[in-house]
Amino acid sequence: MSRDQAANALFGVAITFVIIALLTLIPFSAAKMNDLGYHSICPFAPWSTLALLFVALVAWMVRGYVLTRA
């Protein structure tokens, strides 16, 4: 896999995790309330959202490393 292909794949991974993180916050009729005080798709919000955003950040940082590597 070339450097550009790896960077593009990591960009896709980062964007996917950001989208999934945002989806966890969407209001939804669920059995449990989340820590923000409403019913959402993920009852572990906002902690799951923060974890997914952290994974996206790590993918973005690895992408930056791959692009700057000789």
User: What are 5-48's pLDDT values in tens digits?
Assistant: 999 999 999 999 999 999 999 999 988 999 999 999 999 999 99
Instruction: Return the pLDDT at 49.
Output: 97
Please report the pLDDT score of residue 30 as a whole number. Answer: 87
The DSSP line for the chain is --HHHHHHHHHHHHHHHHHHHHHTTSB---SS--TTSS-BS-TTTTHHHHHHHHHHHHHHHHHHHHHH--
Q: Indicate whether 70 pLDDT > 80.
A: no
pLDDT at 1: 85
- pTM (predicted TM-score): 0.90
